[in-house]
Structure 1
């Protein structure tokens, strides 16, 4: 995991973060993480979004599974005596 160092913060921001962390029963660092996740979470790409993007980039032709089953069934019919 990465680290983030924020310099030059106004003392009021630091004090407010400490108070907010205390109310939530967590450390200042945990509160800082929670705030960042709350604010940036919606912007982060979900698994479903990544999967959809990768599917769209895939050069393979998509085939309906029913077509595959039919082809397999037909192939097996031809090999029976």
Structure 2
């Protein structure tokens, strides 16, 4: 297992980590691992390489669609 030392961590951050770890019933070390893992996983590319629009479409595709009638824009502005 690899060791990681974090230097120059201010006391406020350390105290916040301790409080959060206690709230979650974990050691500070495990809390730090969880935070790092979550932060890195959030930055990973989406599975299947789909973008946001494609994922939204796939999510709602089973609900069916709505056909909208397109109209030509009018030449006079409406107020």
Deviation at 1:2, TM superposition (A): 1.1
Q: Which runs of 5+ in 2 are unaligned?
A: 50-79
Equivalent pairs, count: 49
The 5-angstrom pairing of residues 2-81 of structure 1 reads 2-43=2-43
TM-score (norm 1): 0.51
Whichever of the two has the greater Rg, that structure is: 1
TM-score (norm 2): 0.53
Question: Per the alignment, in what secondary structure is the counterpart of residue 6 of structure 1?
Answer: coil
Higher share in helix: 1
Q: CA RMSD in A?
A: 2.0
Deviation at 1:44, TM superposition (A): 5.1
